[in-house]
Amino acid sequence: MPKMTGARLLAETVYGYGIRDVFFMPYIAPRALMEMEKLGIKRVQTHGEKSAAYMADAYARVKRAPALCMAQSVGAVNLAAGLQDAWLSCSPVVAITGREWQGHQLRHAYQEVDHRDPFAAVTKYSAYVSKPAELSQHLRQAFRSAVSGTPGPAHLDLQGIDGTAVVDSEAVLDIAVEPQFAQLPPFRPVAAGADIRAALDKLANAERPVIVAGGGVTASDARVELIALAEKLSIPVATALNAKAMFPADHPLAVGVPGAYSRACANQILCEADLVFYIGSHTGGQLTHNYRIPPPGTAVMQLDINAAEIGRNYPVSVGLHGDARNTLRAMLAIDQSAPPRNEWIARVRQLVEAWRESARPHYESDSAPIRPERLCKALSEHLPDDAIVVSDTGHSGIWTGTMLDLREPTQRYIRCSGSLGWGLPAAMGAKCAHPERPAICFTGDGGIWYHLAELETAVRCGINTVTLINNNHSLNQEQAGVEAVYGERNRGSDELWLFDDVDFATIAESLGCLGITVRHPGEIAGALEQAVNARRPVVIDVKTDVAGIAPLAWLP
């Protein structure tokens, strides 16, 4: 084994795992960043640690592969906070931080706090690395942990506030890359044959079955198999937000997104189902509207690559432990017939159409300020076939989850799992992962304010994203709760949810972006076309109706 610096080991290893972009907040491991430059890895220096984590999260999700973010010791806890979204979205991000020298620990070292608990809350694996000889082993384990089973973040804490005790020193080191762990999933186990047959029998005998596809379908790249099973067995399909792109919106069996960020029809259909088949889903609180959709007592089956998830929130009649794609392929290979279920399918279509009819007035509205539903309609109709839509949380997640239709198999959708403001830096990470594809961020004015400075990063680094701002100069999702506390709307209550009306296109132009302001629905299509074809980052400021508040999710 040759003698080399820890910096070279780090750079060669991450390059070997397919990482071509690294997101960091200085000052961290500069020698390693220099070695990465030699290999052609793009270094994206951000304006905040959370932004670096968000970029890595989206990069990992759209590539279905590991990503890397880094920060020095004083910013380590900020980076851990940014990993919350990667943790919640099961994203294989590897985070590297500096840590004050061991001899300085517990002595009130300048700017030092304990990193263990913050990273323990948001990672599958976290290790302290004191010298180069330990780096190879922990790097390999970090990548293994990040992509195996249910994916999630991993973390290495390098000695030295900027990691230099590890990366600057030389030692006899082994560059060891395990290609199997450079992708999702590294293993594709198939559920036991007896469980597959039991599941098929249950589906065949059910009168009103529904499939609910989760993020595991996306991670497994099982879109084709999901559609084939639904069509073969005549089963309607609902999708979690993390699987929104896995089933065509215009398919006759499409139900939409259920739960808290949902279409009423999706929740209604799940409440009428006599069997729900969860595929690659945690059955978490948002998807099930706090475990009420479907109601407790509904017959449930679950397929998951992580056996610990099967039956966590709903007792299962059949549990299948396996990879979504390969297990669905095994199910399709069995000659299993199913009734046409004409009555059930007709009922499903009736509920879907009733929801569409209820949404149509706002969806078709040509009023100004623009209704957010109308904005989603234009985006659905003019979205490029290979676009990656990156949605912020809150109202952005509700609007895109319920009103945005993805019809092409090459379109992608990822969404924020926790922290408002994720959208802009995440879109930058998605664009880095696939620079040849349009990356379109859907956020609001409340969301864009969080990390507006990253527009400068996008310009400086040539990351040509499109940021679509639903600008109603407010956090209007909070209005009802605030006014319920006050008992009325008044100046004091307005201070808790209203912003000044700002033109983000002008701000974007000052930072070197192309800025476009849209005031009427007829201008949206042209603005999107101009933005997608621009050769620089673009911000589209869409002036929307402050009264455009998403309806509460349907409950029985």
Domain boundaries, the chain: 3-181, 193-349, 364-543
> Is the confidence at residue 108, as pLDDT, over 90?
no
Token pair recorded at residue 551: 């309806």
Q: Which of 59-68, 95-104, 123-132, 354-363 shows the lowest per-residue confidence on average (mean pLDDT)?
A: 95-104
pLDDT of 265: 97
Helix (H) or strand (E) holding 203: helix 193-205
pLDDT bucket at 335, cuts 50 / 70 / 90: confident
Closest to 414 in 3D by CA, of 255, 228, 159, 242: 242
Query: Any bridge partners for residue 320, and if so which?
Result: 303
Q: Give yes or no for residue 1 having a pLDDT over 80.
A: no
Give pLDDT, residue 100. Answer: 87
Q: What is the mean pLDDT of residues 169-183?
A: 94
Is residue 397 pLDDT above 90, yes or no? Answer: yes
pLDDT for residue 104: 83
Taking the C-alpha atoms of residue 361 and residue 371, their distance in angstroms, rounded to an integer, is 10
Report the SS3 class of residue 149.
Answer: coil
pLDDT of residue 105: 79
What are the two backbone dihedrals, phi and then psi, of residue 9, each rounded to the nearest 5 degrees? Answer: -60, -45
- Dihedral sign, Cα of residue 331, residue 335, residue 339, residue 340: positive
Query: What is the average pLDDT across 174-180?
Result: 94
Residue given tokens 């089933």 in the structure block: 247
Residue 361, token pair as written in the block: 């007035």
Angle at 224 between CA 221 and CA 230, to 5 degrees: 120
Distance CA 316, CA 297 (A): 10
Identify any residues that bridge with 212 across adjacent strands, giving them in sequence order: 238, 278
CATH of 193-349, one of 3.40.50.2000, 3.40.50.510, 3.40.50.1220, 2.40.50.140: 3.40.50.1220
> E strands of 384-465, at which residues?
388-391, 412-415, 439-444
Q: Could you please report the per-residue DSSP string of 166-226?
A: HHSSEEE------GGGSSS-S------HHHHHHHHHHHHH-SSEEEEE-HHHHHHT-HHHH
CA pair distance 433, 421, nearest whole angstrom = 20
Enter the CATH code of domain 364-543: 3.40.50.970
The rounded percent of the chain whose pLDDT value lies above 90 is 95
- The whole-angstrom separation of Cα 314 and Cα 306 is 15
Examine the pLDDT at 540 and tell me if it is beyond 90: yes
The predicted pLDDT at position 338 comes to 84
**Banded pLDDT at 551 (limits 50, 70, 90):** confident
C-alpha 430 chain-centroid distance: 10
Topology of 3-181 in CATH?
A: Rossmann fold (3.40.50)
Q: Which helix (H) or strand (E) holds 542?
A: strand 538-543
Q: How far is CA 113 from CA 25, 72, 118, 218, 524, in A?
A: 18, 12, 10, 37, 48
The amino acid at residue 337 is S
CB-CB contact of 357 with 409 (8 Å): no
Residues 459-504: pLDDT tens digits? Answer: 999 999 999 999 999 999 999 999 999 999 999 999 999 999 999 9
Give the pLDDT confidence of 348-391 residue by residue, as tens digits: 999 999 999 999 999 999 999 999 999 999 999 999 999 999 99
Separation between Cα atoms, residue 530 and residue 527, nearest integer Å: 5
Q: One fold for both 3-181 and 364-543?
A: yes
- E-only strand ranges, 6-133: 21-25, 42-45, 67-71, 93-99, 125-129
Q: What is the pLDDT of residues 315-326, one digit of tens each?
A: 999 999 999 999
DSSP letters of 22-34?
Answer: EEEESSS-HHHHH
What are the pLDDT digits (tens) for 245-287?
A: 999 999 999 999 999 999 999 999 999 999 999 999 999 999 9
Amino acid occupying residue 552: L
- Can you give the pLDDT at residue 336? 80
Q: What is residue 441's three-state secondary structure?
A: strand
CA 160 to the chain's CA centroid: 32
Q: With bands split at pLDDT 50, 70 and 90, how would you rate the model's confidence at 101?
A: confident
Asked if residue 346 has pLDDT above 90, the reply is yes
Q: Considering the chain, what is the average pLDDT of its residues?
A: 96
**Is the predicted pLDDT of residue 228 greater than 90, yes or no?**
yes
The predicted-structure confidence for 500-537, as pLDDT tens digits, reads as follows: 999 999 999 999 999 999 999 999 999 999 999 999 99
Q: Please tell me the distance from the alpha carbon of residue 176 to that of residue 301, in angstroms, as a whole number.
A: 40
Q: How many other CB atoms are found less than 10 A from the CB of residue 208?
A: 18
Q: How many whole angstroms separate alpha carbon 269 and alpha carbon 310?
A: 22
